Homo-oligomer: A and B are copies of this chain.
Amino acid sequence: MLMPAAVAWVAPAIAWLIAITLVVVIALILRNLAHRLIGRIVRRASAERPSLAGRLRGRETVTPEGLDAIVAERRRQRAETIGSVLRHIASIIILGTAVLTVLERLSVPIAPLLTSVGILGVAIGFGAQELVKDFIAGMFMLLEDQYGVGDVIDAGAAIGTVEAVTLRITRLRDADGRVWYIRNGTITRVGNESQGWSRATVDVPVAYASEIPVVRDLLKEVADEMWNEPAFRDSIIVEEPQVWGIEQISDTAIIFRVSAKTIPSRQAEVARELRLRIKAALDRADITIAA
């Protein structure tokens, strides 16, 4: 007479075990599938951006093959970083659901658990908004390839060379050697100085009494001379420098502007060289710089 009772106790237990095993197995399979799907999507999303090579071209002085390698490498890294995040999210959802389902099957009352987790979750959730913002911002920065290690960027809070990019922060080193950690979510706009070309702009204030056409020709001469030197032409300055004329009639001087298009991040150097040569030329021609 005990046996049937035992059977009555054993049978549902076995049914339970089967049910639970099933849940666990299905969860693991689903997670596996989700991970593969994510991998495929991310890889395809990366591959769909051929413009990357175009934008990188101006950035580094590399052979096309080297460029292809860099592009491929960057793309791989990016796919990996973002895929890892998505895989984590998928795992949390699938395994979390599985655990709750198992607990429910075991007749463990999950309401108290949910209550505890929920209250704490909301409490933390409010505070974690910023964190999520940082990660979302980071993901899109990577997906859109806004900048990479080695680029000189203006991130608002600081200007410098990118040393590292993670999903949460960007690490820069500015001109003074200061290392900046900037949360991605606080970067509303980024100015990248390492894509395509930069422009050196030199303002030259001359006295009111100066002969305007003479000054203009002199500036043009200096610009042409520099453009004709092989050390600058094409390798550093990528377009013939231009004298833009009188930018401003200020209350103390007539201000001329000279402009030169350079390869990325070399504009300061070119501007300094231009200033040196212009100052020398003006001195030779006895044209007074405004004072």
The residues of A with any CB-CB pair to B shorter than 8 Å are 89, 92-93, 96-97, 100-101, 104, 109-110, 112-133, 135-137, 140, 144, 146, 154, 157-158, 166, 168-169, 173-183, 185-186, 188-193, 195-199, 201, 203-205, 208, 212-213, 216, 244-249, 251-254, 261-262, 264, 267, 272-273, 275-276, 279-280, 283, 288-291
Residues of B close to A244: CB separation below 8 A: 272
For this chain, the copies found in one complex come to 7
B177 touches A267 (CB 8 A): yes
Query: Top 7 A-B pairs ranked by shortest CB distance?
Result: A127-B132, A100-B112, A245-B272, A157-B189, A96-B116, A177-B198, A246-B275
B120 touches A89 (CB 8 A): yes
Q: Please tell me which one of the listed residues B120, B122, B173 contacts residue A196 in the complex, with CB atoms under 8 A apart.
A: B173
Q: Please tell me which one of the listed residues B93, B136, B213 contacts residue A130 in the complex, with CB atoms under 8 A apart.
A: B136
> Once bound together, how far apart are the Cα atoms of A244 and B89, in whole Å?
51
B132 touches A276 (CB 8 A): no
Q: How far is the CB of A43 from chain B (nearest CB, A)?
A: 20
> Once bound together, how far apart are the Cα atoms of A130 and B184, in whole Å?
13
> Once bound together, how far apart are the Cα atoms of A249 and B258, in whole Å?
13
Q: How far is the CB of A38 from chain B (nearest CB, A)?
A: 15
19 contacts between A and B (CB under 8 A): A93-B117, A100-B115, A101-B109, A119-B121, A127-B129, A127-B130, A127-B131, A144-B168, A175-B201, A177-B197, A180-B191, A183-B189, A205-B249, A212-B280, A245-B275, A247-B272, A248-B275, A249-B289, A251-B290
B169 touches A198 (CB 8 A): no
